[in-house]
Structure 1
Amino acid sequence: MAQIYISLGSNVDKEHYIRQALIALKAHLIEFEHSSVYESEAVGFAGNNFYNSAIGAQTQIPLPQLCQLLKQIERDNGRTNNDKKFSPRTLDLDLLFYDDVVCDSPAQLPRDEITKNAFVLQPLAEIAPDFYHPTAKQTIAQLWNTYNNPKQKLWKVEFTNP
């Protein structure tokens, strides 16, 4: 069983698409834990605010197939392969960790955004404070406690899990 963490984001019909992602992920993963949902301003482009959260789960799905599954869930929810990196999106599912695997393919692990973006790190710190980041050599709680980017603000929103 692999311990995984996934970041969820949406800025198009946000509540609907985060809810749809959770339903789809719960159908494939076990020992499922979901963080609070946070709202934040778009980073890197002018656009609607995002909803972001993180999930932790266990899986027996091999890494390449898990990456394919996440892309399929995005496509099933209106995401296209032509979406630009910094643009509005119905759903963004980013694999953050797959156990302590460090690689660049089929996904960048651990994901670089973990230490750079509050909208990734804060929800992750909520559900995985003691998880050890294999390249930063710190726990997620330590990374969050030393995070400092006053330009990135986020706030919890009311959200009922499906």
Structure 2
Amino acid sequence: MALIYISVGSNIDRERHVSAAYLELHLLFGTLRCSRVFESEAVGFSGDAFYNLVIEAHTEMSVADCVSALKNLEQRYGKAAASPKFCGKTLDLDLLTYDDLVCQQPVELPRGEILKNAFVLWPLAELAPDQRHPVTQQSYQALWQAYQEPQKLEPIEFVWPDPTVVLPASLLPADAQPVCV
């Protein structure tokens, strides 16, 4: 089974969408480990603050199948298939790593955002401090300690839903429409 890390973000109805992502990813992958949830400023555009976290899971899916499953979840919860990189998002799910694989297709692995964005690196360093970045071979904790970019980011209190219960109807998308604010 492959060890994967997934970045989760939302700045539209944040608590609802982060909770839904957690429950949906639990259905897809089983047992999950999660970083704390962080609130971060929008990066690259003016918009509402995001909730971000990183989730660890194990899978027998291929990289392509993982990426497809994540994109399908995003779309179910209202993210337009071709939404711009820098815009508001109901749910943003990115496969950060897949074991130690380094590739460009079907997606860039490891994701470049790991080294560029505090809202990815801090939760990843918290969740997997001793894991090594497949390219730099530095631990995520060492990368976070050396991080110098000014980004506003802070951990928040978050009440996690119980993954053993059926996904509540209030979290399911009701005729979700693509959103980009």
The TM-score range, normalised by the shorter chain, is over 0.9
**Structure 1 stretches of 5 or more lacking a match?**
none
Give 1:50 shift. Answer: 0.5
TM-score, scaled to structure 2: 0.87
Q: Please tell me whether residue 122 in structure 1 is matched to residue 111 in structure 2.
A: no
What residue is the counterpart of 1:79 in the other structure? 79
TM-score, scaled to structure 1: 0.97
C-alpha distance in structure 2 between counterparts of 1:156 and 1:127, whole Å: 13
Identity value in percent? 49
C-alpha distance in structure 2 between counterparts of 1:107 and 1:31, whole Å: 24
C-alpha distance in structure 2 between counterparts of 1:156 and 1:53, whole Å: 9
Give 1:30 shift. Answer: 3.3
CA RMSD of aligned residues (A): 0.8
Deviations 1:6-33 (A, max 9, x none): 0000000011101111110000113410
What residue is the counterpart of 2:157 in the other structure? 158
What residue is the counterpart of 1:107 in the other structure? 107
Alignment of 1:1-162 (within 5 A): 1-150=1-150, 152-162=151-161
C-alpha distance in structure 1 between counterparts of 2:99 and 2:72, whole Å: 22
C-alpha distance in structure 1 between counterparts of 2:62 and 2:134, whole Å: 19
> Could you tell me which amino acid in structure 2 is paired with residue 92 of structure 1?
D
Greater Rg, structure 1 or structure 2?
2
Number of residue pairs matched by the alignment: 161
C-alpha distance in structure 2 between counterparts of 1:31 and 1:101, whole Å: 22
After TM superposition, the runs of 4+ consecutive aligned structure 1 residues lying more than 6 A away are none
C-alpha distance in structure 2 between counterparts of 1:30 and 1:101, whole Å: 22
